Amino acid sequence: MTSGVEDQLRAHFTSAEHDLPAETFTIDVMARVHAHRRRTRVLQTSAALITVVILWLLAPDIAHGIIAMAGFPGVALRLAERSMRELSESSLISVLYLYGGVLAGYLLLKALQQFRIRWA
């Protein structure tokens, strides 16, 4: 009996196979593709503009950060000299982490502050 149902299914699906007209459907699909491409371009352009604006707003802070980083080797050397006398190697690494963490936190806070000002 099940094979009878199988035969019916095969015959039904074969007879129900239609050659559907392509033109209207293809036009509709390509309209969706065009809309998708337009949206993608708008999003990409917006993202690029936002990135440029954020970098422009953060430029002074980035410059300060670079200057601070430029002065970092001197600080590190002094810390290293101290470490010879007072600090263990592990505590020197902790100080370096602290210095880097404070700088990263400062940059992050400035970025968030600018976001709040611009996008709130």
Size of the site for another protein (CB under 8 A): 24
Nearer to another protein, 15 or 88 (CB): 15
CB of 41 to another protein, least distance (A): 13
Task: Give 38-98 as a DSSP string.
Answer: HHHHHHHHHHHHHHHHHHHHHHHHHHHHHHHHHTHHHHHHHHHHHHHHT--HHHHHHHHHH
CA angle 44, 112, 75 (to 5 degrees): 115
Task: Kindly identify the residues of this chain, within the stretch 9-38, that bind another protein according to CB under 8 A.
Answer: 9-10, 12-13, 16-20, 22, 25-26, 28-30, 32-33, 36
Q: Which residues bind another protein (CB under 8 A)?
A: 1-2, 4-6, 8-10, 12-13, 16-20, 22, 25-26, 28-30, 32-33, 36
